Amino acid sequence: MRLISPADFRTQPWKNGGGVTHEIAREDDGDRLLWRLSIAEVASDGPFSFFPGLARVLTVIEGAGIVLETAGGPIAAHPLDPVAFPGDLPVIGRLLAGPIRDLNVIYDPGRIDASVTLVSTVTRPAGRAALLCLSGRFRIGDEDLTPGSLALLDDEAAIGTRATGLLVTLAPRSA
């Protein structure tokens, strides 16, 4: 297990000036991204970045939500309700009622199956998983995971004490 606090996140502004991204963790295979976890602060409406060959799961963790305008129709991203879409899908984000923060999982869908689930406790995950604490406290072994922090889990169980979090599972794709 590895605990990552917000002080350890790597922050960078977006190229379009519409917000910032806080990269939490990532795994690469050589020069190719397998997966990346980040929190975005979206301050205004605007285009999303392209991630050709990758997929995304976006989960609003603060704020009223955002509508993702696409050629195929709108995708509503409401608080704590994960939405998945291709990383190369042209998207214009329209904030519903002011700024938001969202958890982004960007991954290679040819090699990784990823999902995001709202949880209050976590049984031992099968394979690689990450737990973002949103409220309360999760006890993992002899460590406490507090709001805003993330734990990369391998075989540990996380017990919630009136806690809410997002569990990200990252499993190798079956052939």
Q: Please provide the CATH number assigned to the domain covering 9-107.
A: 2.60.120.10
Ordered by start, the domain boundaries in the chain are 9-107, 112-172
The two structure tokens encoding residue 91: 């998207």
10-13 sheet: strands from edge to edge: 10-13, 19-29, 32-42, 100-107, 55-62, 83-86
Per CATH, 9-107 and 112-172 having the same topology is answered yes
DSSP state of 50: P
pTM score: 0.92
Binned average pLDDT, 10 residues per bin, the chain of 175 residues = 93 80 94 95 90 96 97 96 95 95 96 93 80 92 91 78 87 76
CATH for the stretch 112-172: 2.60.120.10
- DSSP letters, 57-78, are EEEEEESS-EEEE-TT--EEE-
Cα–Cα distance between 94 and 63 in angstroms, integer? 13
